[in-house]
């Protein structure tokens, strides 16, 4: 059913301008999503705010349909003051969660459109030493909302040894700052050795060192996608040159369903739990407010009596109850203690008093 219906996947790309985000996306999915894009000059970028743009494309591979949504963040990290420039990105992710939560709570739940962001490719600049403060703040702000996959952009500007050192440095800093990036699931023990080796290589490739290119060049008699330099050709789809193939396989083939599952079971469930908790608090608060208004006719809270006074009052009430109970039982116990003769004498006395009263009445007449 899933293969027949097709799959939905939403991918977000984030990072500063000039790191090759658009080129990589076009290289990954063999499309041209940014043909109508207008590049801003330096002055226009100063006043530019972070935008959210969506591009949707339908891809079909081996009879399987994929509806791919690319969410881009132009303007991120380009301003002079980048304070909280990630806020609009976090708000967009929350808005998609909120929309899905509303649809899920509605009447028609069969055809819910899933626009939740399943993966975020965050592009790290190859220039500099490790992560910048902006990179750390962005990932810390979003790591509990979306699956972050760090990407080392423009890896052809670095030598192989520099790529290795930079990857190690970035991994150390991610662990040092407590950033939770997407964790690849562990292999089952019954998997074959080749698959285990591939999974290990995938985990060691973080962050993926990538090169993007949409031009076809000729290398050794073959036409390949790559970049032509005076000293040679960099092949995009050659694993010895970059991690482009590993990233594409991970996104489209091997880990797409796991990315969606983690989004649904972890990130969305956390958001849903927070929503339900806040709604419950609001309902309880409103109920308590209405109760106070009904009982006292005022919105001011009634001061609570201390625990010591309560216990003393209860003690006094208990003592009074015991006294009343003992007073009720006392006449019955006296009646039971008297013998039958005492009860007879009492009846005789009563008869004599009645006779005397009758005589007094006769005398009066």
Crossing angle for the helix pair 87-105 and 133-142, nearest 10 degrees? 10
Helix crossing, 87-105 with 269-296: angle to 10°? 70
Q: What are phi and psi of 226, to 5 degrees?
A: -175, -170
Residue 51 is predicted with a pLDDT of 78
How far lies 123's CA from each of 126, 244, 309, 314, in Å? Answer: 9, 13, 65, 69
| Residue in this structure with the two tokens 């080392």, named with its chain if needed | 152
**What number of other Cβ atoms are within 10 A of residue 177's Cβ?**
14
Looking at domain 7-281, what is its CATH homologous superfamily? P-loop containing nucleotide triphosphate hydrolases (3.40.50.300)
d(CA 218, CA 213): 14
Distance, in Å, from the CA atom of 212 to the CA atom of 155, rounded to the nearest integer, reads: 9
Q: What is the pLDDT of residue 352?
A: 56
| pLDDT given at position 47 | 64
Contacts (Cβ under 8 Å, ≥6 apart) of 130: 166, 169, 170, 172, 173
Q: Report the b/e string of 237-255 with b at 16+ CB within 10 A.
A: ebeebbbbebbbebbbeeb
pLDDT at 325 (0 to 100): 76
Tell me how far apart the alpha carbons of residues 187 and 196 are, in angstroms, rounded to a whole number: 6
Q: What is the pLDDT of residue 36?
A: 66
DSSP state letters, 95-141:
HHHHHHHHHHHSS--SS-------EEEEEE-SSSSS--HHHHHHHHH
Average pLDDT, consecutive stretches of 10 residues, N- to C-terminus, the chain (365 residues) = 78 87 83 69 69 82 79 80 84 91 82 87 88 90 92 90 92 91 79 76 86 82 84 85 88 85 91 90 85 62 46 74 72 50 48 60 59
Alpha helices in the chain (DSSP H): 2-5, 21-29, 42-47, 87-105, 133-142, 160-176, 193-204, 244-248, 256-262, 269-296, 307-337, 340-364
* Residues whose CB falls within 8 Å of the CB of residue 184, separated by 6 or more in sequence, listed in order: 199, 202, 203, 255
HSE-up of residue 241 (Cα within 13 Å, Cβ side): 19
Partners of 224 in beta bridges: 217
Residue 308 pLDDT: 45
Q: Is residue 152 within 8 Å of 210, Cβ to Cβ?
A: yes
pLDDT at 346: 47
Task: Check residue 300 and give its pLDDT.
Answer: 46
- Map out the domains of the chain as residue ranges: 7-281
What's this model's pTM, rounded to 2 decimal places?
0.72
């Amino acid at each position: 059913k899933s293969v027949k219906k097709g799959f939905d996947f939403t991918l977000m790309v984030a990072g500063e301008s000039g790191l090759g985000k658009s080129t990589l996306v076009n290289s990954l999915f063999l499309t041209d999503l940014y043909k109508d894009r207008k590049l801003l000059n330096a002055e226009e970028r100063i006043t530019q705010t972070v935008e959210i743009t969506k591009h949707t494309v339908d891809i079909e591979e081996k009879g399987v349909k994929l509806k791919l949504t690319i969410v881009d963040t132009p303007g991120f990290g380009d301003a002079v003051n980048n304070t909280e420039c990630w806020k609009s990105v976090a708000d967009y992710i929350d808005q998609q969660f909120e929309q899905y939560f509303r649809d899920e709570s509605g009447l028609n739940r069969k055809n819910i459109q899933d626009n939740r962001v399943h993966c975020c490719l965050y592009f790290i600049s190859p220039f500099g030493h490790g992560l910048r403060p902006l990179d750390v703040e962005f990932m810390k702000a979003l790591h509990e909302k979306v699956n972050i996959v760090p990407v080392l952009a423009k890896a052809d500007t670095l030598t192989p040894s520099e790529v290795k050192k930079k990857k190690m440095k970035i991994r150390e800093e991610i662990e040092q700052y407590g950033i939770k990036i997407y964790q690849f699931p562990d292999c089952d023990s019954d998997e074959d050795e080749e698959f285990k080796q591939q999974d290990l290589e995938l985990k060691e490739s973080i962050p993926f060192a990538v090169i993007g290119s949409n031009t076809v060049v000729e290398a050794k008699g073959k036409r390949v996608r790559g970049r032509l330099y005076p000293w040679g050709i960099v092949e995009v789809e050659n694993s010895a040159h970059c991690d482009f193939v590993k990233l594409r396989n991970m996104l489209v083939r091997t880990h797409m369903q796991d990315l969606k599952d983690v989004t649904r079971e972890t990130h969305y469930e956390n958001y849903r739990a927070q929503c339900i908790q806040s709604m419950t608090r609001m309902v309880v608060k409103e109920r308590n407010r209405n109760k106070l208004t009904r009982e006292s006719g005022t919105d001011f809270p009634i001061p609570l009596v201390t625990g010591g006074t309560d216990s003393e009052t209860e003690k006094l009430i208990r003592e009074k109850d015991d006294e009343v109970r003992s007073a009720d039982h006392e006449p019955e116990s006296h009646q039971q203690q008297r013998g039958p003769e005492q009860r007879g004498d009492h009846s005789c006395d009563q008869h004599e008093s009645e006779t005397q009263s009758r005589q007094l009445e006769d005398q009066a007449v």
